[in-house]
Amino acid sequence: MGFPMQRMTVAAAALAVGLVATSSALALDDVRLRLNWMYYGSHSGFALGKDKGYFRDAGINLDIRSGNGSGSANRLVANGDSTFAYGSCASMVNLAAQGAPLISVAVIDAMGTDAAIIRPDAGVKKLGDLKGKMLLTTANAGVNTFFPLVLKNAGLTKEDVKITNVPEGALVSSYLQGAGGAVGMLGGLDDKPAEIKANGGPSPVTFAYSDFGVNQVGYCIVANTKTVKENPDLVKRFVAATIKSYKAAEADPKAAIASMADIVGGTMAEDQAKEQALAVLNVTLSVLYSGANKEKRLGYNVPSDWDDMLNLMKSYNDLKTDKPATAFYTNDFLP
């Protein structure tokens, strides 16, 4: 009788070991991704990846959180609140140059979409017409970084245009109302024109920063340098899942928007909101690769683009750093 009992004991032990192994295999790393703002179309690649299980397949339990500007999102990575951020690369460089432990591990928007966005009834035909006028923006927004250079290249000074900060949630409504006499705002071509249209406004007059000598890297996946050093495997898995997600969004933009609508719910699931989000996503998909990214490698931090941006920031934004551009990004984690 002892032998069958022994067999049962061995079997039970094997089952227990198997259960432990299975439990270990199913364990996921909790990752908090901090967005630059509330969900909009550019973020839908993350939603698609979460919906399709790409992050889970990579061993990641992804928690996507809204943000309040790129500066804020990047700071939350620096202080350990969030594992990664999707935010302005220029904003990240400003913080990292001041000692924040931040680095770009991939690029999503390889080119900037920053612009001065002007009400069509303001009579502004060229950027020089902004002299003496007021624009709205949001504190900590990455779009603020290069506007002084845009003004300089348009023959204006920083003092020629008054800038007023308003909360992000009130930016478009304040623009539409011409709050305080404002004739326009600073914002991204990827989201703000579509939001203006969705709120009943006419198509704005836009002045893209890229038309005024601003060659900047757009939005990065930002990590804490401690995470990169101590948990490189997590960084590699997150970057791979992100790249897979945005490639899937490239292939089927409407599916990405549907995934975001499912996750966010509410008005985001309404047809008008999905149409707006799709318009935004299409702009983002158009800037996934810079002209210098000859191989169209998604996520690639193009060295020449970073060199250009760093030189601009040193020359026109009073960036103080002796570090080379390579100190602010790495391609080590790209698939």
pLDDT of 325 reads 97
pLDDT value of residue 3? 38
Spatial distance between the Cα atoms of 20 and 35, rounded to a whole number of angstroms: 35
Other Cβ atoms less than 10 A from the Cβ of 155: the count is 11
Q: Where in the chain is the domain with CATH 3.40.190.10?
A: 28-111+216-328, 114-212
Q: Hey, which CATH number is domain 114-212, 2.40.50.140, 3.40.190.10, 3.40.50.460, 3.30.465.10?
A: 3.40.190.10
How far, in Å, CA of 76 to CA of 203, rounded?
35
Q: What CA–CA distance (Å, rounded) separates 245 from 335?
A: 13
Q: Please answer whether residues 211 and 20 qualify as being in contact, where contact means their C-beta atoms are separated by less than 8 angstroms.
A: no
Q: Which CATH class is domain 28-111+216-328?
A: alpha beta
Q: Running along the chain, 335 residues long, what does each successive block of 10 average in pLDDT?
A: 43 48 67 94 97 98 95 97 96 96 97 94 96 94 86 94 94 96 95 92 95 90 98 98 98 98 94 93 94 96 96 87 97 97
Distance, in Å, from the CA atom of 138 to the CA atom of 313, rounded to the nearest integer, reads 20
| Phi-psi category of residue 86: left, alpha or beta, with phi > 0 → left and psi -120 to 50 → alpha | beta
Give the C-alpha separation, 182 to 248, whole Å: 40
What is the pLDDT at residue 26? 66
Does this model's pTM top 0.75?
Answer: yes
Q: Which residues pair with 30 in a beta bridge?
A: 61
